[in-house]
Amino acid sequence: MTLVDDLTWRGLLQDSTDLASLTEALNGGNLTFYVGFDPTAASLHVGHLMQVMTARRLQLAGHKPLLLVGGATGQIGDPKESAERSLNPPEVIEGWVARIRAQLQPFVTYQGANAAELVNNLDWTGPASVIEFLRDVGKHFPVNKMLARDVVRNRLETGISFTEFSYQLLQANDFYELHVRHGCALQYGGSDQWGNITAGVDFIRRRGAGPVHAFTTPLVLKSDGTKFGKSEGGSVWLDPAMTSPYAFYQFWINSDDRDVTQYLRFFSFKSHEELEELEKATAERPQARLAQRALAYEVTALVHGEEEAEQAVAASQALFGRGSLDSLSAGTLQAALSEAGLASVRGELPTMTSLLRESGLVASANEARRTIAEGGAYLNNERITDGEAVLDSAALLHGRYLVLRRGKRTFAGVEYER
């Protein structure tokens, strides 16, 4: 099976320049390609993973990645449908560029004949004067074509700045510069970037260079219509300080049955046969959530490492009484309990009844006593039998945490501060 066959089977090819020519180029040996990421925040989020994982696929097939982090384009901003972007200070963007470049490193290899390279478009855009840019780049862009781009046309009534209007020139010039400097012959990106990408293909042709190729991947949407990459707490980030590995794992575990098989095709590196088996198992036994568990572990291990993935699995089991809480690191336990709701307790050690109420698992002391009497209350996975017993400090996990559970599936955390 060719690379294009695999991309097509996974649903990763939406738009492309001449498909026959693209297929021939990808089958013909070591091709240099690029994909870009603008530093609009301090971290990439799971919405970027489609492009990151696709870069990994292309490299595994023998092609050379250029991962561009836009130190220049990040200062301008690709036009949004809704309104003008807020411009961030250059020194902030410089810091974000460094962080994002570090986040991209685990996904590709930087050794061998097709070693990846990290590039920054500020290197060639920064030194160019306005006159040089307008003469060498702007001269080749018909304004009527730029106005025809959907996002620009939609913004004409509410207004769009010349700064955002000119973004297309910067991205197109990136493709040209990478073609000249590195022999880059392919750019890909999300389908919302098709206008910018084809502008680069056309610009290279107008400059008498090429041929070059391009394709886009589909935008990922959830079956319920909500945006992929969002959870109740907002964006799901790749930076572990912004989204813990446990919360990251839970995002994938909670994938809808209607979405998970497609997510596996997009984000997993399992074989077609393995994925088809998981798809079949999900259809036959959706309650087992085999596809979700496979997806969550694989993506978490790739982004955060196998140790963090193992900890996330262990936490998911231990919190519901199917594993040992003692095996969890303090960081994993704290992250997991924070997701569920982490109450703080200070001062004298409370009674079990008070703990249940203060954790929010019950609304009153009477309800706590009733739950205990019915055998439905647990402390660190041990059933509570005496509601008036005072907490023993030896029960504190890592010297400060407690896991309380009501029934089989409702749990909460308590952090004791002396």
Q: What is the DSSP string of 106-122?
A: GGS--SSTT--EEE-TH
Give the pLDDT confidence score for residue 211 in this predicted structure: 93
What are residue 122's DSSP bridge partners? none
**Rounded Cα gap, residues 95 and 41, in angstroms:** 10
Distance CA 145, CA 165 (A): 12
C-alpha to C-alpha distance for 98 and 121, rounded to whole angstroms: 13
Helix, strand and coil content of the chain, in percent to the nearest 5, comes to 50, 15, 35
Bridge-based pairing of strands 234-235 and 342-346 is: unpaired
Among 147-151, 199-203, 315-319, the range scoring the smallest mean pLDDT is 147-151
Where helices occur in 254-322 by DSSP H, the ranges are 257-267, 272-284, 290-304, 306-318
Q: Which residue has the higher pLDDT, 312 or 230?
A: 312
Q: What percent of the chain has pLDDT over 90?
A: 71
CA atoms within 13 A on the CB side of 252: 34
pLDDT band at 293 (very low <50, low <70, confident <90, very high): very high
Q: Hunting for tokens 């046969």 — which residue is that? A: 273
Residue 89 binned pLDDT confidence (cut-offs 50, 70, 90): very high
Mean pLDDT of 26-35: 93
The whole-number pLDDT of residue 232 equals: 64
Task: Say how far apart CA 38 and CA 166 lie, in whole Å.
Answer: 15
Please give the Cα distance from 29 to 193 (Å, whole number): 26
Element (H, E) at 246: helix 245-253
When pLDDT is averaged across residues 9-23 and rounded to a whole number, the result is 96
C-alpha pair distances (Å), 353 with each of 342, 349, 358: 17, 12, 9
Q: What is the pLDDT of residue 231?
A: 67
Q: What is the mean pLDDT of the chain?
A: 92
* CA–CA dist 257, 412 (Å, integer): 26
234 pLDDT above the threshold of 90: no
pLDDT in tens, 329-377: 999 999 988 887 888 888 888 899 998 998 889 999 999 999 999 999 9
Give me 365's structure tokens. 């002391």
pLDDT bin (cut points 50, 70, 90) of residue 15 is very high
Q: What average pLDDT does this structure show over 215-233?
A: 82
pLDDT band at 28 (very low <50, low <70, confident <90, very high): confident
Please report the sign of the dihedral spanned by the C-alpha atoms of residue 376, residue 378, residue 381, residue 383: negative
Higher pLDDT, residue 54 or 322:
54
- Reported as a single tens digit per residue, the pLDDT across 157-212 is 788 888 889 999 999 999 999 999 999 999 999 999 999 999 999 999 999 998 99
Query: How many helices (H) does the chain have, and how many strands (E)?
Result: 19, 13
